[in-house]
Amino acid sequence: MNRWVFYSEDISVLDPARQVGLLGLILREEDPRPAHEQIEKRYIGGWLDMTEWFKWDGDRSLIVYSTANEHEVEHKEEYAPIASCYLPLSNEAVVLFQYSFLGIFKDGRLMGVTRCD
């Protein structure tokens, strides 16, 4: 089981270990496959790639969802990190954000976003 690092002791994040849920069983340090393949194999919902809708704001350590609807009204939401783990064999960091979004990072770049809830 991988070790998760938690980013906040804020009371608004109730029981942060519970936020991680089964991710410790889905993502395994000893598995050499990339995180998205591990999620595809072990998470009941599989890997649903949502990367195109998110950008990484490294200055503020947030992922930002941004889209425009049919009336060209832009909608933005920002999500803060809750916890992260490192997968050494694939050299990836997996970050759990608010609302169960997961970001996969390699060499400091956002490689993928999905939601596991």
pLDDT for the residue numbered 13: 53
Please, which residues bridge with residue 68 across strands?
A: 74
d(CA 67, CA 76): 7
Evaluate whether residue 74 is within a structural domain: yes
- What is the pLDDT tens value at each position of the chain, 117 positions in all? 678 888 876 645 556 566 788 888 899 999 999 999 999 999 998 999 999 999 999 999 999 998 766 777 777 899 999 999 999 999 999 999 999 999 999 999 999 999 988
Number of domains in the chain: 1
Evaluate whether residue 2 is within a structural domain: no
Q: Which domain holds residue 37?
A: 16-115
d(CA 61, CA 55): 11
Evaluate whether residue 3 is within a structural domain: no
d(CA 4, CA 108): 18
pLDDT for the residue numbered 11: 43
Evaluate whether residue 4 is within a structural domain: no
